[in-house]
Structure 1
């Protein structure tokens, strides 16, 4: 439902006209930080192990090129996010694990402009695709077992606002939904799917060129 709402917002935005536009050919760079907040129920692996993935925050950077007035293509990058993973058996016993991941995300975005909003706030919405690669997986059960999480492709939604404080500079607040599901294996044997599918909240400084 969250993703459907973001897609609906993006479709609505593309049907609207604006009095002023971010001109085609404009570049923007946003530098800030994002907080990855996985969904609360991350699945159950073979053997009845319930999975819980914790949250993390890391610096991020994105670049956007406007292919048409108000319409941009954005690529989001970050330094690796770190997540602790708790595996809980039916009897309450717990096994700790961890992983790192990089979630580059490519989106097509529509920026509103010219609506005389308070503080000249400029909302935007976007939809795209997320690729997440996992690495440095570890499981701490004393057995030396090899945990592996497969890379993930999924849709992504994006919504936010830019608050200008200079002609080409602004402060950004945004939120993304990423469909991230990864197949897990232990010593080469498939043991189920981990559904992370987080909301990602961020702030950034944005500069246009």
Structure 2
């Protein structure tokens, strides 16, 4: 007898439900997760000295960026893990907050390695959620000001900006959807405390510095493999 339409669907669903449950993460497992990772800054900054030309009294902002994310986790016990979060370098526009969409005056790149201790909740069907907390180190590099935009406003002066590196608290929430004994799907969200000091230079002389809290939300969706 041939199965048609709904009959085939019921048979497939029954096969899935009757199959044995996928084994949860266990002590000694290594889990590698990879996917798209988006940094969405929630910026708060001081204003530049009001006596400065062009930038005086204005704050700065930075835009979002998406890169390839990669995380490595090791299960210390069946429910406790340690995770290292990395990514390809992020590059953000530096925006002078003039109202509206602002004015892009330069860019900066950074690497945000983050180390977290994780607690894994009991598995529910194929899903296992987890929480993590730890420390982030953000390394800024390739900071630059767009001379074509800023220099003419300052009579041709050479303008630069430097951002200090940051150490701060990070926390996360995530979930693995186990496909089989090795492969899984993952969704993760982090919040990272990134506080930097933006130092403004004109003709190599520092003219001002302001504190900038970037404090991004970071989102990742991808696949994982455990072994």
Q: TM-score range by the shorter chain?
A: 0.7 to 0.9
How is 1:5-154 mapped onto 2 (pairs within 5 angstroms)?
22-46=25-49, 47-88=56-97, 94=103, 96-116=105-125, 120-140=126-146, 141-142=150-151, 143-154=157-168
Matched, 1:162 2:176: yes
Structure having the higher Rg: 2
Mean CA deviation greater in 43-52 or 122-131: 43-52
How many corresponding residue pairs? 186
Structure with greater proportional strand content: 1
Q: Deviations over 1:65-108 (max 9, x none)?
A: 11122211100111110100111359x98461210000000000
Consecutive unaligned residues in structure 2, runs of 5 or more: 1-22, 50-55, 152-156
How is 1:173-192 mapped onto 2 (pairs within 5 angstroms)?
173-187=187-201, 188-192=206-210
- SS of 2:76 mapped into structure 1: strand
Matched, 1:193 2:211: yes
Consecutive unaligned residues in structure 1, runs of 5 or more: 1-19
Matched, 1:172 2:186: yes
- TM-score, normalization: structure 2? 0.76
Rounded to whole Å, the distance in 2 between the matches of 1:78 and 1:155 is 18
Please tell me whether the aligned partners of residues 48 and 89 of structure 1 are also in contact (alpha carbons under 8 angstroms): no
Rounded to whole Å, the distance in 2 between the matches of 1:99 and 1:145 is 14
Q: Deviations over 1:105-158 (max 9, x none)?
A: 000011123334xxx211111001010010111112113212100000000010
- TM-score, normalization: structure 1? 0.82
CA RMSD of aligned residues (A): 2.0
Rounded to whole Å, the distance in 2 between the matches of 1:80 and 1:37 is 14
